[in-house]
């Protein structure tokens, strides 16, 4: 049992559903044990309080890698909150602890203590309200690993959808879809599909930026000036299997999807609504290009559900399963 990989799970925003779904890990482990050891990074007292609120009987144990795992006990790496957290009520005073969870999980992955990290949702707004610039997990982990470019990919419902740009205002997207950004993204996606999914020569469907992929320049020139030259160069020089640029409104039709192993969208709300429609509650977020393995749930903090017992832990379970598979691969 001690040879099993160790997966670190950060509880995320303490006022959200992160604690609720982490408490469900024991329920899942009793039904179908994970092929790994799971350690939850959280305030131990927060988990105990939320368990009492939800009337979930649970045994918590301070994380000790030398102790054998127990199916009736949740291992917790305790990182204290600044102030007690109330379900559904954000408090900027605890924002620093939320980031400390990420820092500790990242340090453990870098040192080899953990094989991967899985993140429950955080609330970007309250972290920024606390005076700390935070665009999201993806950008934060890239900065703290010194990675110049990472790629956000969501997977679920039979789809894998990666993004060229992530958390940007829509008006800033066209300028951010540069030849450099697109080429680096395609290279990372191509490489990581082999490393993380065992597909060494993936077929990548690439969306255009504009409606109808620009309609030959009548609806925008980004396809002609940027996207087509990059795809042609990578096909010719690297032999990559790249299909596109495709109109985004038809790229996600079944006949087209059958021709690819993954899809690349130019911006957040071009690709992710389709994926979340197909898989919400059981999709996951994978950060490609990092020197560590990181997966995440595909949903937010759901403050209105926190402490209600109605939060669905399915996405967390899938994120952990995928992290284990990637670590073993």
- pTM beyond cutoff 0.75: yes
pLDDT in the model for residue 280: 80
Q: What residue segments make up the domains of the chain, in order of their start? A: 1-147+290-329, 150-288
CATH fit for domain 150-288, picks 3.60.70.12, 3.40.50.720, 3.50.30.50, 3.40.718.10:
3.40.718.10
pLDDT in the model for residue 71: 84
pLDDT in the model for residue 30: 87
Q: What is the per-residue burial (b if ≥16 Cβ within 10 Å, else e) of 243-261?
A: bbbbbbeebbeeebbeebb
Question: Strand order of the sheet with strand 73-78?
Answer: 59-62, 73-78, 37-42, 6-10, 116-119, 294-297, 284-288, 151-156, 159-163, 262-265, 203-207, 241-246
Q: Mention every residue, 6+ apart, whose C-beta is less than 8 A from residue 249.
A: 211, 212
pLDDT in the model for residue 1: 47
pLDDT in the model for residue 282: 86
Q: What is the CATH number of domain 1-147+290-329?
A: 3.40.718.10
Residue for token pair 């700390």:
132
Q: Mention every residue, 6+ apart, whose C-beta is less than 8 A from residue 83.
A: 91, 93, 94
1-147+290-329 and 150-288 have identical folds: yes
- Note whether 322 and 155 are within 8 A (CB): yes
pLDDT in tens, 80-93: 999 999 999 999 99
Distance CA 183, CA 188 (A): 9
* Low-confidence spans in the chain with pLDDT less than 70: 1-2
pLDDT in tens, 164-221: 998 889 999 999 999 999 999 999 999 999 999 999 999 999 999 999 999 999 999 9
Q: What is the per-residue burial (b if ≥16 Cβ within 10 Å, else e) of 294-321?
A: bbbbbbebbbebbbeeebbbbbbbbbbb
């Amino acid at each position: 049992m001690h040879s099993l990989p160790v997966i670190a799970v950060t509880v995320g925003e303490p006022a959200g559903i992160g604690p609720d779904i982490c408490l469900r890990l024991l329920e899942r482990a009793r039904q179908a044990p994970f092929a790994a050891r799971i350690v939850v990074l959280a305030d131990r007292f927060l988990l105990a309080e939320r368990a009492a609120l939800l009337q979930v009987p649970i045994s918590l144990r301070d994380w000790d890698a030398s102790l054998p795992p127990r199916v009736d006990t949740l291992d917790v790496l305790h990182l204290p909150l600044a102030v007690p957290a109330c379900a559904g009520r954000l408090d900027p005073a605890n924002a620093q602890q939320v980031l400390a969870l990420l820092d500790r999980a990242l340090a453990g992955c870098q040192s080899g203590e953990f094989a991967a990290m899985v993140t429950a949702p955080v609330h970007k707004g309250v972290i920024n309200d606390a005076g700390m610039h935070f665009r999201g997990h993806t950008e934060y982990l890239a900065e703290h690993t010194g990675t110049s470019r990472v790629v956000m990919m969501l997977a679920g419902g039979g789809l894998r959808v990666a993004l060229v740009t992530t958390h940007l205002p829509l008006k800033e997207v066209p300028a951010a879809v540069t030849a450099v950004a697109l080429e680096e993204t395609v290279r990372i996606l191509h490489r990581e599909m082999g490393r993380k999914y065992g597909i060494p020569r993936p077929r990548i469907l690439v969306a255009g930026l504009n409606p109808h992929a620009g309609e030959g320049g009548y609806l925008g020139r980004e396809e002609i000036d940027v996207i087509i030259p990059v795809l042609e160069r990578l096909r010719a020089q690297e032999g990559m299997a790249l299909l596109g640029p495709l109109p985004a409104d038809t790229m996600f039709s079944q006949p087209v999807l059958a021709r690819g192993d993954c899809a690349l969208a130019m911006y957040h709300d071009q690709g992710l609504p389709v994926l979340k429609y197909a898989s919400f509650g059981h999709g996951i977020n994978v950060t490609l290009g990092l020197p560590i393995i990181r997966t995440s749930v595909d949903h937010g903090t759901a403050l209105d559900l926190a402490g209600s017992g109605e939060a669905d832990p399915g996405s967390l379970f899938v994120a952990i399963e995928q992290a284990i598979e990637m670590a073993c691969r």
